[in-house]
């Protein structure tokens, strides 16, 4: 039940809008997932995928990016990207069209000293670079190279518990089951996936349906999802 509530919360947060007016990127999608089943135990390394989503109709050519930070003890990133320090990760792109999504992965370490069932969290926010015209009048120039573009989104994990979403979870409800299979079959039959924009478009579930990540959703992906369901 906890997982389902978390997923709903995360999806809801996808509709947050920017407060700074910083260019055209208006939302960071907090859909977080992993290829692993569970968040690792203390001493392990976890991988988190997060999708940056431009929910406006307009393109953003002002260097959109995503920054993920953690203030939780025992958690650090193995690669900070362009961010400084081990408690921060950043990824940037040159631009993105309206309605498109970009995906970035980050790896995090859970210290062996962390307690069992350790509850930790990340904060994700969408950014744009070079947003000086929108900076507060009293801000220093270097403070305004990166502007928060969305409200921060909190992402919670517990060691040993399932990730909010996994590959195969087409309807993003936190479970991989018959509902996902039915949706994928219906979408294949209706020709929905033949739209070239589907993959990074409005329906992020398409990404989760493409199990083998070959940019095509077909019987091979269905077989992989069925195997997952059968494996329990």
Is 209 one of the binding residues for Ca ion (CB under 5 A)? no
Q: Which of residues 131-170 bind Ca ion (CB under 5 A)?
A: 169
Binding test (CB under 5 A) with Ca ion, winner from 13, 210, 225, 228: 210
Does position 173 bind Ca ion by CB under 5 A?
yes
Of 15, 39, 32, nearest in space to 66 by CA: 32
CB atoms near residue 33 (< 10 Å)? 23
Burial class of 210 by CB neighbour count within 10 A (0 to 12, 13 to 18, 19+) = buried
Span interacting with Ca ion, options 29-37, 159-167, 193-201, 216-224, rule CB under 5 A: 216-224
Does residue 90 touch Ca ion according to CB under 5 A?
no
Using CB under 5 A, pick the residue from 37, 143, 197, 214 that binds Ca ion: 214
Q: Give the integer Cα–Cα distance in Å for 54 and 191.
A: 24
Burial of 93 (0-12, 13-18, 19+ CB in 10 A): middle
Q: Does 171 bind Ca ion (CB under 5 A)?
A: yes
- Which residue among 70, 180, 181, 198 contacts Ca ion (CB under 5 A)? 180
Contact 3, 162 (CB under 8 A): yes
Q: Tell me which residues touch Ca ion (CB under 5 A).
A: 169, 171, 173, 175, 180, 210, 212, 214, 216, 221
């Amino acid at each position: 039940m906890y997982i389902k509530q978390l997923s709903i919360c995360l999806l809801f947060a996808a509709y947050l809008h920017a407060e700074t007016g910083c260019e055209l990127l208006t939302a960071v999608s907090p859909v977080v997932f992993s290829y692993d089943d569970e968040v690792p135990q203390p001493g392990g390394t976890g991988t988190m995928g997060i999708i940056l989503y431009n929910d406006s109709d307009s393109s953003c050519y002002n260097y959109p990016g995503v920054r993920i930070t953690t203030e939780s003890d025992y958690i650090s990133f193995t690669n900070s990207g362009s961010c400084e320090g081990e408690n921060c990760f950043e990824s940037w792109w040159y631009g993105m069209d309206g309605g498109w999504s970009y995906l970035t992965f980050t790896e995090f370490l859970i210290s062996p000293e962390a307690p069992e069932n350790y509850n930790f969290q990340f904060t994700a926010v969408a950014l744009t670079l070079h947003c000086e015209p929108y900076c507060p009048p009293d801000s220093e120039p270097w403070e305004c190279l990166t502007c928060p573009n969305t409200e921060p989104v909190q992402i919670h994990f517990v060691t040993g518990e399932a990730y909010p979403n996994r590959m195969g979870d087409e309807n993003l409800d936190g479970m991989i089951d018959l509902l996902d299979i039915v949706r994928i079959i219906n979408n294949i039959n209706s020709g929905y996936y033949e739209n070239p924009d589907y993959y990074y478009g409005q329906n992020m579930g398409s990404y989760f349906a493409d199990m083998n990540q070959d940019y095509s959703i077909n019987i091979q992906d269905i077989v992989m999802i069925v195997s997952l369901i059968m494996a329990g």
